[in-house]
Amino acid sequence: MAKAAVEKVTAREVLDSRGNPTVEATAHLSDGASAWAMVPSGASTGRYEALELRDGDGSRYGGKGVLKAVANVEQVISPALKGVAAGVQEAVDRILVELDGTPNKAKLGANATLAVSMAAAKAASASQGKPLHVYMSGGGPAGLPVPMFNILNGGRHAHNSIDIQEVMVVPAGLPSFAEALRCGAEVYHTLGRLLRERGLGSNVGDEGGYAATLSANLDALALICAAIEDSGYRPGDECFIALDAAASEFYDDGNYTLACEGRTLSSDELIDLYRSWVQEYPIISIEDGLHEDDWAGWRELNRVLGARVQLVGDDLYTTNPRRIQTGVQEAASNAVLIKPNQIGTLTETLEAVSMTKAAGWGSVMSHRSGETEDTTIADLAVGWNTGQIKTGAPCRSERLAKYNRLLKIEDELGDEASYAGMAAFPHICSRMKGASL
Ligand code: PGA
Ligand code: ZN
């Protein structure tokens, strides 16, 4: 196997889908192979995420420039990686972690380290003549993930909309990724028509989903169910609903305020509200249903709903193996959202995935609300066999780039392609249909 070494890593400041600066790094290898990677950026970031280094200099991009991170890549990381075998990802990432030396990438910036980590992997896969997902799989089982399409945006991603940040459709009951993508796009367009017919507005939010003016979170569920049925799919059998409440964003001092409904709930009352939604609608997954420090609430949520619904920790875990370990010990959820830029290297991200799977939990590879044309997460979802991916609505090319990449992978795998389907939800004993709480 070719073991080309890193010659140098270059970097530049580019712009993400919100027009904010982000880091692009290019790894150049000794055999002439090279590859670039761009990092995404969140808006509803968790308190425990690795640091995204920004210049803080108000004269450029309102302080959001990333020239310090770019300089860290070229002046600190590149010389340290010279001569290291790019095809040994753990070696590359160990150097990044040691060079940084902080628990949260506070010195170099996770945007600098992740850009380099991904660029090295892509360059090594090019050098070995393998597709990135094959290179990342290391020969292990691979599969096409179930997509979660965020077709209705709220919270921090769409002002004047609902409190729930994301309402997604999940075509887990269809036979292939291509059919799932078609379902997602058809339901998306039907929802647009329903919103226009009802005069509810059909502008889109940061992740391409509609940002409609609804007066209750429950209305979103009814509308999406109608959109699934009107598109000719069976809710609760072929196509399900997933929510990302991003509840840390509407939490204050022990309470949860649903501004669009004008009411404030305790942790227990919010759990009860979720339970009523789950009884009425085919909800297969709820992400960040509670605040990132409300561990007692999470345990209760998992006790009440965990056998029936996937409960995903995003801000709760921030892709951090130490926090995931705590979650497993405490039985705080049954799934983890996987965002490479929350932790800052591919090796640490893979550790988070492996831990999640070892616990028998679900894992969801994820984009950020600020994205780029980089499609690495699509290959990671297949190569690491995460079973699920969420990368926005089937709208706006920074989102479609990932879905289209998955279409291509499924096509190229031909007969060997296997769509995860319901098997991606290992803890849910039966399909929603007919199940009762
Ligand atoms: P973010 O949102 O990228 O703005 O953090 C995505 C999410 O909460 O899952
Ligand atoms: Zn989230």
pLDDT in tens, 333-364: 999 999 999 999 999 999 999 999 999 999 99
Q: Is residue 72 part of a domain?
A: yes
Domain limits for position 234: 146-432
- 49, 52, 207, 287: the catalytic one is 207
Q: Which of 129, 155, 179 is the last residue of a domain?
A: 129
319 CB near ligand 1 (under 6 Å): no
Same-domain check for residues 124 and 158: no
Position 435 scores a pLDDT of: 47
Same-domain check for residues 125 and 159: no
246 CB near ligand 1 (under 6 Å): yes
Per the CB < 8 A criterion, the answer to whether 341 and 41 are in contact is: yes
- Please count the structural domains in the chain: 2
Position 426 scores a pLDDT of: 79
27, HSE (Cβ side, Cα atoms, 13 Å): 37
248 CB near ligand 1 (under 6 Å): no
pTM exceeds 0.85 for this model: yes
Q: Is residue 239 part of a domain?
A: yes
CA–centroid distance, residue 164 to ligand 1 (Å): 12
Same-domain check for residues 78 and 217: no
16 CB near ligand 1 (under 6 Å): no
Per the CB < 8 A criterion, the answer to whether 193 and 206 are in contact is: no
Q: Is residue 141 part of a domain?
A: no
Same-domain check for residues 85 and 117: yes
Position 19 scores a pLDDT of: 98
Contacts of 423 (CB under 8 A, 6+ apart): 387
Nearest ligand atom owner, CA of 209: 1
369 CB near ligand 1 (under 6 Å): yes
Position 432 scores a pLDDT of: 47
Position 140 scores a pLDDT of: 82
Per the CB < 8 A criterion, the answer to whether 159 and 213 are in contact is: no
Position 201 scores a pLDDT of: 83
**CA atoms of 93 and 346, how far apart (whole Å):** 7
What secondary structure does DSSP assign to 78-123, as a single string? Answer: HHHHTT-BTT-HHHHHHHHHHHH-STT-TTT-HHHHHHHHHHHHHH
Nearest ligand atom owner, CA of 16: 1
CA–centroid distance, residue 221 to ligand 2 (Å): 18
Same-domain check for residues 157 and 280: yes
Same-domain check for residues 125 and 150: no
11 CB near ligand 1 (under 6 Å): no
Position 429 scores a pLDDT of: 56
Q: What is the pLDDT of residues 231-252, one digit of tens each?
A: 999 999 999 999 999 999 999 9
Q: Is residue 138 part of a domain?
A: no
Please report the atom of ligand 1 found closest to the CA of residue 370: 3
User: Considering just the CA atoms, what is the radius of gyration of the chain in Å?
Assistant: 21
Per the CB < 8 A criterion, the answer to whether 334 and 361 are in contact is: yes
Same-domain check for residues 114 and 209: no
**CA atoms of 158 and 206, how far apart (whole Å):** 7
Same-domain check for residues 244 and 377: yes
Q: Is residue 135 part of a domain?
A: no
Same-domain check for residues 254 and 195: yes
Helices of type H across 233-345: 267-280, 295-305, 321-330
Position 375 scores a pLDDT of: 99
Most ligand 1 atoms within 8 A of CB, residue of 39, 369, 388, 398 to mutate? 369
Same-domain check for residues 249 and 337: yes
CA–centroid distance, residue 368 to ligand 1 (Å): 5
Per the CB < 8 A criterion, the answer to whether 176 and 192 are in contact is: no
Q: Is residue 1 part of a domain?
A: no
Position 215 scores a pLDDT of: 86
- To the query of whether residue 292 is one of the catalytic residues in this protein, the response is no
Q: Which of 77, 95, 129 is the last residue of a domain?
A: 129
Q: Which residue has the tokens 């160990």?
A: 94
**CA atoms of 15 and 425, how far apart (whole Å):** 35
Q: Name the β-bridge partners of 285.
A: 242, 310
Same-domain check for residues 397 and 353: yes
Position 213 scores a pLDDT of: 85
Q: Which of 98, 129, 160 is the last residue of a domain?
A: 129
Position 127 scores a pLDDT of: 98
- To the query of whether residue 339 is one of the catalytic residues in this protein, the response is yes
Q: Whose CA is nearest to atom 1 of ligand 1?
A: 42
Please report the atom of ligand 1 found closest to the CA of residue 337: 9
342 CB near ligand 1 (under 6 Å): no
Most ligand 1 atoms within 8 A of CB, residue of 22, 49, 165 to mutate? 165
Q: Is residue 264 part of a domain?
A: yes
Position 56 scores a pLDDT of: 97
CATH of the domain at 301: 3.20.20.120
Per the CB < 8 A criterion, the answer to whether 23 and 104 are in contact is: no
- 64, 105, 122, 339: the catalytic one is 339
Q: Is residue 139 part of a domain?
A: no
CATH of the domain at 123: 3.30.390.10
Which residue, 184, 185, 182, 222, is CA-closest to 200?
A: 222
Position 433 scores a pLDDT of: 42
Same-domain check for residues 61 and 110: yes
Q: Residue ranges of the chain with pLDDT lower than 70?
A: 1-2, 429-437
Position 2 scores a pLDDT of: 52
- Measured between alpha carbons, how far is residue 91 from residues 5, 36, 129, 347 in Å? 11, 19, 20, 9
45 CB near ligand 1 (under 6 Å): yes
